[in-house]
């Protein structure tokens, strides 16, 4: 058997796993969107059975034999496309086989139980009930890191699951820069005499009108509804099973359309990444989205860089006025632009705006870092949370439900995930700056309602690149430089100083 044949066998196995992964995607989507409530238990068992099959496929001995025979260094002329698939398979195989089965089982069981405990603790505002399982989860994830990536710091190994190639060494200085600049900016915004008027964003907005408008804008962004769907779920998300089956969701409130509409735009950003994947290898790892931060950069690009920008606001105000005539009769594009960009410190991360959001993330990052290096104990989290909220945002949660218990991530053992949100925001601002430099008329295009060049640029620069490049290499290739918080900071400072009439 030669290497070319081994590679073909490997891709056959990878394709099978990929398709079963797509099936998993449908099960999750169905569970969130459409499943009868009484089916919760049977669905959990179906998900468990399928996860078991996927695990079996990942660690299959034949997979090990193929990877043993395939080279560890690409000296034999595999194309970048092929080499990427080999590397991805090796990564998954190593990650899955290095952990003792007992640890896998204990982590799975504990995560499942921890979620229940967290739901109850949050509802009852009792962090002390959650603390013991959280402590155990951190311990297990430290142990887990020792098996998976013994050469890495344990928190880095956890970050690596979501944001491979990025470590605390990259993140800490960037987050420190953000803190240094954003804390005073947030304070000046709060203290500004000028506050945008937003009353016209309140009112009664029929759901069918909201939905029609959301679909129209999503379609104009380029979302292909013959290869995707838009539905309703408790928390908006982008899921599905394949680039030809991408499913976004939103949620509706009759007294607020902005939240829903911008959720549609955000999830469409994710959806365009999935629909825009390279044509070859759509069932192989090489075509998959790169990291969580790059995915988030795409959703935030559309939500913030485009849809919260002046040209977009000017373009779509007439559509809004047509959809909700009562509210938008006398609203100018500038007033609408200012209203959707209001910034204000708040207690809840998911409701935060683009200026304050990074502080929520940095707070969590610093706490996770401390939990993993041993400088912070689980018991100290509630007080540290409050202190940091006061320091970073000037607000203090009255309860742990509004503080340390608000996020689901830790209860699922997902440590190291939070940084991706803010890394994504930074990348989005860097990509936008490059797009503006490459296509100086892009804002004119957006204002004329032509969103195609935006989507096509993101497609050719990012979506179609799959996993061929690492994040640093991709960002370098697109923008000419690496992760650069200054561009993000400049963007925020320019925008918000102007809106809030600062200086």
* Interaction site with a second copy (CB under 8 A): 15-16, 19-20, 22-23, 26-27, 30, 34-39, 41-43, 45-46, 48-50, 52-53, 224-229, 241-245, 282-283
Question: Pseudo-torsion of CA 183, 185, 187, 191, nearest 10°?
Answer: 180
Give CA 202 to chain center in angstroms: 28
The string of DSSP letters for 461-488 reads HTGGGTTSS-HHHHHHHHHSSS--HHHH
Tell me whether strands 238-242 and 245-250 are parallel, antiparallel or unpaired.
antiparallel
Cα–Cα distance measured from residue 391 to residue 399, given in angstroms and rounded to the nearest whole number: 17
Question: Pseudo-torsion of CA 213, 216, 220, 222, nearest 10°?
Answer: 120
CB of 43 to a second copy, least distance (A): 7
Kindly name the residue from 267, 303, 338, 354 that is annotated as catalytic.
Answer: 267
From 469, 409, 343, 453, select the one nearest 115 (Cα to Cα).
409
From 395, 308, 399, select the one nearest 360 (Cα to Cα).
395
Q: How many CB atoms lie within 10 A of CB 7?
A: 20
From 26, 459, 463, 464, select the one nearest 239 (Cα to Cα).
26
- Is residue 424 within 8 A of residue 295, CB to CB? The reply is yes
Cα–Cα distance measured from residue 206 to residue 199, given in angstroms and rounded to the nearest whole number: 18
CB of 451 to a second copy, least distance (A): 21
Angle between helices 80-98 and 127-148 (to 10 degrees): 120
Residue 267 known to be catalytic? yes
The arrangement of strands across the sheet holding 228-232 comes to 228-232, 245-250, 238-242
Cite the beta strand spans of 12-87 per DSSP E: none
The catalytic site residues sit at 267
């Amino acid at each position: 058997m030669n290497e070319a044949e081994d590679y073909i066998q490997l891709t056959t196995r990878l394709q099978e796993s990929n398709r079963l992964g797509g099936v998993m995607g449908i099960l999750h989507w169905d569970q969130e969107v459409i499943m009868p409530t009484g089916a919760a238990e049977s669905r959990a068992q179906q998900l468990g059975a399928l996860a078991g099959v996927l695990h079996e496929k990942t660690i299959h001995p034949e997979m090990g034999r193929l990877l043993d025979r395939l080279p560890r260094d690409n000296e034999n002329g595999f194309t970048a496309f092929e080499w990427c698939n080999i590397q991805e398979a090796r990564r998954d195989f190593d990650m899955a086989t290095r952990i003792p089965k007992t640890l896998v089982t204990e982590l799975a069981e504990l995560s499942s139980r921890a979620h229940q405990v967290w739901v109850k603790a949050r509802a009852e505002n009792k962090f002390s009930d959650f603390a013991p399982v959280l402590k155990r989860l951190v311990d297990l994830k430290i142990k887990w890191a020792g098996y998976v990536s013994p050469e890495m710091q344990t928190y880095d190994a956890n970050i690596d699951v979501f944001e491979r190639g990025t470590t605390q060494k990259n993140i800490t200085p960037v987050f420190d820069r953000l803190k240094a600049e954003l804390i005073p900016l947030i304070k000046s915004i709060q203290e500004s005499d000028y506050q945008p008027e937003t009353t016209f964003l309140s009112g009664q907005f029929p759901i069918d009108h909201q939905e029609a408008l959301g679909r129209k804008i999503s379609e104009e962004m380029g979302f292909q509804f013959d290869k995707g769907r838009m539905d309703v779920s408790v928390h908006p998300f982008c899921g599905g099973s394949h680039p030809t089956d991408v499913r976004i969701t939103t949620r509706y409130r009759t007294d607020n359309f902005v939240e829903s509409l911008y959720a549609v735009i955000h999830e469409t950003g994710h959806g365009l990444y999935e629909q825009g994947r390279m044509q070859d290898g759509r069932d192989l790892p090489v075509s998959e989205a790169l990291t969580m931060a790059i995915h988030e950069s795409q959703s935030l690009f559309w939500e913030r860089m485009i849809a919260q920008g002046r040209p977009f606001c000017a373009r779509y105000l007439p559509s809004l006025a047509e959809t909700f005539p009562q509210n938008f009769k006398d609203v100018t594009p500038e007033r609408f632009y200012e209203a959707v960009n209001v910034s204000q410190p708040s207690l809840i991360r998911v409701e935060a705006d683009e200026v304050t959001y990074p502080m929520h993330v940095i707070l969590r990052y610093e706490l996770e870092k401390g939990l993993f290096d041993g400088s912070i104990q689980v018991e100290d989290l509630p007080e540290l949370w409050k202190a940091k909220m006061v320091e970073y945002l000037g607000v203090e949660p009255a309860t742990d439900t509004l503080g340390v218990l608000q996020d689901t991530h830790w209860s699922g053992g997902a440590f190291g995930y939070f940084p991706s949100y803010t890394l994504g925001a930074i990348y989005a601002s860097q990509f936008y700056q490059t797009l503006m430099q490459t296509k100086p008329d892009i804002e004119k295009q957006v204002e004329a309602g032509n969103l195609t060049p935006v989507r096509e640029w993101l497609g050719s620069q990012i979506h179609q690149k799959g996993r061929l490049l690492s994040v640093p290499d991709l960002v370098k290739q697109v923008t000419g430089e690496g992760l650069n918080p200054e561009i993000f900071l400049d963007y925020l400072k320019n925008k918000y100083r102007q809106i809030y009439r600062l200086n």
